[in-house]
Structure 1
Amino acid sequence: MKLPAARRIAFCKRFPSTNSIPSFIKEKSINAQIGYGISAPYESVDDIADQGFFAQGELVLKAASWFELRPYAGFILTSSNGKDLNDNPTNEKAESKAFLLGGKARVRAPIPWVAPYVEIGIGTSIGKFETLTAFDNIDKGGIIYHIPFAFGLELGKNNNVDLGFTYYFQPSVEQFVGAFSVGITFPLNNKK
């Protein structure tokens, strides 16, 4: 049985296609990042920053020349080498082996060639976390929340190279992870 035209139009307005993106999104891109990962406890006696690897992909949804929404998925792997930042032996550590998932909003200066930005959001870390200091003894696996914060520069004529510092604050395990990363943005088929 076919619905009358008026009912079909009302249905389509009420339940729009799931393949469509909101009309305020002007462009879509993919951003791929790779970098030098670090993790550190919120409090420690020795100055420690455990080292590792970071990689992340983001769907860039540009709403305006100065504002973007960025759902992301990535991972970070850090481990302790048993030394502090001064190369002295230590038992303190802050290790993370986690999958990162969430969303961020980026505010940027719409300047060609060099555009500074800052971003913040909310997300989840899924993996294994260990924070061992004079103040904390946490060994936890599973799902925790994190607060991403980043700042950096978008470089190039079309601002398609990203150079920045990314941090994920993980309050439930008393540590933060982060990276110095380089990213490249690839545009998808965008509306003209």
Structure 2
Amino acid sequence: MKKILVFIILWLTSFQIEAQFVKKKSISANIGYGLSTPYYGGIDVIDSGLYLQGEFVLVIATWLDLRPYSGLILTKSNGKDINQNPTPYKATSRAFLIGGKARIKAPIPWIAPFAEIGIGSSIGNFETLSELSNITKSGIIYHIPFSLGLELGRDHNFEVGLTYYFQPTIEQYAGAFAIGLSIPLK
């Protein structure tokens, strides 16, 4: 785990070097409806909350971006399943997110579908309680971010998408339906 964290920190700091392969830079801010659910059992359990994320966007090509990010996911249980029946099961996350991801997109004018994948760390408090899991953890865990969405607008400055963080250590998915805005840097 420590090796992964050291790798992420070194990888993120390496972007301070001005590289000729970076075509454009921008800052992206995302906000959304946060969700979390257990991997195993309790499939009717979806806890909700808030999702915020900021990204430093490095455009390598019209079809490829590198995106170091930091964010926040706050989900809590209301004690009910998706059918509004009482349940003891839950999957909660209160965590700071940090990492890096790569975005591959179709360079289509006005609307560009994209997919992202990367690696990062979640730092906070987590609880997964389902028929097959009973995990309570505080601290640093690794996650694998994955997103699908659309970049919209003439300059692709707006986005809408689904973003999820697979958290194997706590047997939980956390993520959001999010919207975002990119601001170009000079």
TM (normalized to structure 1)? 0.88
The structure with more radius of gyration: 1
Q: Which residue of 2 aligns with 1:61?
A: 58
- SS of 1:83's partner is coil
Q: Partner amino acid for 1:148?
A: P
- How many residues are matched? 172
Q: Which residue of 1 aligns with 2:104?
A: 107
TM (normalized to structure 2)? 0.90
Residue 132 of structure 2 is aligned to residue 143 of structure 1:
no
* RMSD of aligned Cα (Å): 1.1
Question: How much does 1:43 deviate?
Answer: 1.2
Q: Which residue of 2 aligns with 1:79?
A: 76
- SS of 2:97's partner is strand
Match of 1:41 among 30, 38, 43: 38
Q: Which residue of 2 aligns with 1:187?
A: 184
Aligned partners of 2:88, 2:18: CA distance in 1, in Å? 50
- SS of 1:71's partner is strand
- SS of 1:179's partner is strand
Q: Partner amino acid for 2:97?
A: L
- SS of 1:57's partner is strand
Q: Partner amino acid for 1:138?
A: I
Please tell me whether the aligned partners of residues 105 and 119 of structure 1 are also in contact (alpha carbons under 8 angstroms).
Answer: yes
Q: Partner amino acid for 1:169?
A: F
Show structure 1 runs of 5+ residues with no match: 1-17
Aligned partners of 1:121, 1:86: CA distance in 2, in Å? 33
Show structure 2 runs of 5+ residues with no match: 1-14
Aligned partners of 1:32, 1:45: CA distance in 2, in Å? 32
Question: How much does 1:42 deviate?
Answer: 0.3
Please tell me whether the aligned partners of residues 37 and 43 of structure 2 are also in contact (alpha carbons under 8 angstroms).
Answer: no
Residue 30 of structure 2 is aligned to residue 30 of structure 1:
no
- SS of 2:169's partner is helix
Moved >2 Å (runs of 4+): none
Please tell me whether the aligned partners of residues 96 and 127 of structure 1 are also in contact (alpha carbons under 8 angstroms).
Answer: yes
Q: Partner amino acid for 2:155?
A: N
Structure 1 residues 186 and 88: alpha-carbon distance in aligned structure 2, compared to 1, 3 A threshold: same
Identity across the alignment (%) = 59
Q: Deviations over 1:128-151 (max 9, x none)?
A: 000011111101000000000001
Q: Partner amino acid for 1:118?
A: A
Q: Which residue of 2 aligns with 1:162?
A: 159
Q: Which residue of 1 aligns with 2:8?
A: none
Aligned partners of 1:164, 1:21: CA distance in 2, in Å? 30
